[in-house]
Structures are given as structure tokens and as C-alpha cells.
């Protein structure tokens, strides 16, 4: 094996190296029975992060303006609990939050039905802990989704 080839496989990562050896990983969501594109397909990380940013920003704005009345320290203390509350209420009732709606996303169970209240409670708690949300599988489902049997899809 050429040194350049070995270095290239290390830089490209294990998936690229496995694909060079003939492994077929399919598209994101194929293992879950999701379509490749369009409604019902698994949302990409860019859309999900964008939606999370919008939801967090809106909660920050509400905490700063309405709850803390301009006190940044108090606003920082209220942002995460407010994010948790708003996310749980909106996901349990509508299946989507403001940010997710703007980016065309919805949280559903693996069978495509609406996530239950216990699923939403635990999923959002794990999302607020951050670490489970940044650990993904090859379908780009975070541990917070895997733990409760949900997936974030395009609408």
C-alpha cells in the first residue's frame, strides 16, 4: 500500500475507506424505510441545526425581553428551561417547532405517526443535554432520537 493512499484513507475517514473496499451504505434513511428525497425523507444536519438555531434564538429573545426585562444574567438562566418548555409543547401538539416549520421539518416516530408525549419529553431533555444530539449514526439520527424511537423528517 502506498503511503499516500494510506494517508488519504485516514483523512477521508472510515466510511470513504469502506466504500473504496466495496461497502454500500445506501442513502440516509434507507435502513429505516424512509424515501431518499422529498416528504418523509430524513432531514439533513444543516436544516436541523438551522432550525435549532432559530428556536434557541427565539427562546433567548423571549427570555431577555419578557422574563428578564433586559437583565442578561437572568435571561441566560431562563433560556434553556424556556426552550425545553416551548419545544415540548409544540412537538407534542403540532409535531414541529417554529424553527423546524421554517426549515420544513417534523419529528415523527419511526412508523411515521406523531411522537407521543413521553417520547417528546425525553427527546427534548436529551437534546438540552447537548451531547446525545451531537453523536450521530450513519443515518444522521442523534442519540436523542435513537433513544426514543423518533426521526426528524422533511415535510
Say if 88 falls within a structural domain.
Answer: yes
Supply the range of the domain harboring residue 103: 44-154
Q: What's the confidence (pLDDT) of residue 101?
A: 97
Say if 100 falls within a structural domain.
Answer: yes
Residues 141 and 26: beta-carbon distance below 8 Å: no
Say if 97 falls within a structural domain.
Answer: yes
- In the chain, the number of structural domains is 1
Say if 143 falls within a structural domain.
Answer: yes
Say if 2 falls within a structural domain.
Answer: no
Q: Does the pLDDT at position 100 exceed 90?
A: yes
Say if 102 falls within a structural domain.
Answer: yes
Q: Does the pLDDT at position 8 exceed 70?
A: no
**Mean pLDDT across 82-101:** 97
- With bands split at pLDDT 50, 70 and 90, how would you rate the model's confidence at 20? confident
Collect all residues with Cβ–Cβ distance below 8 Å to 136 and sequence separation of at least 6. 45, 142, 143
pLDDT digits (tens, 9 = 90+) for 51-83: 999 999 999 999 888 877 878 888 888 999 999
Rounded CA separation 149/63 (Å): 31
Burial (Cβ within 10 Å: 0-12, 13-18, ≥19) of residue 135: exposed
pLDDT digits (tens, 9 = 90+) for 135-144: 988 888 999 9
Q: What's the confidence (pLDDT) of residue 21?
A: 72
Rounded CA separation 145/43 (Å): 12
Q: Which of 155, 150, 98, 94 is nearest to 127 (CA)?
A: 150
**Mean pLDDT across 95-106:** 97
Say if 15 falls within a structural domain.
Answer: no
Say if 54 falls within a structural domain.
Answer: yes
Amino acid at each position: 500500500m502506498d503511503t499516500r493512499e494510506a494517508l488519504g484513507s485516514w483523512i477521508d475517514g472510515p466510511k470513504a475507506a469502506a466504500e473504496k473496499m466495496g461497502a454500500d451504505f445506501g442513502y440516509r434513511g434507507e435502513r429505516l424505510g424512509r424515501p431518499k428525497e422529498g416528504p418523509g425523507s430524513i432531514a439533513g444536519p444543516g436544516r436541523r441545526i438551522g432550525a435549532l438555531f432559530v428556536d434557541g434564538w427565539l427562546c433567548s429573545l423571549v427570555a431577555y425581553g419578557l422574563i428578564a426585562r433586559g437583565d442578561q444574567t437572568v435571561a441566560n438562566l431562563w433560556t434553556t428551561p424556556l426552550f425545553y418548555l416551548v419545544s415540548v409543547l409544540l412537538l407534542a401538539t403540532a409535531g414541529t417547532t417554529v424553527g423546524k416549520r421554517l426549515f420544513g421539518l417534523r419529528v415523527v416516530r419511526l412508523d411515521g405517526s406523531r411522537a407521543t408525549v413521553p417520547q417528546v419529553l425525553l427527546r427534548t431533555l436529551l437534546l438540552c443535554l447537548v451531547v446525545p444530539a451531537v453523536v450521530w449514526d450513519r443515518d444522521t439520527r442523534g442519540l436523542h432520537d435513537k433513544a426514543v424511537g423518533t426521526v426528524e423528517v422533511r415535510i
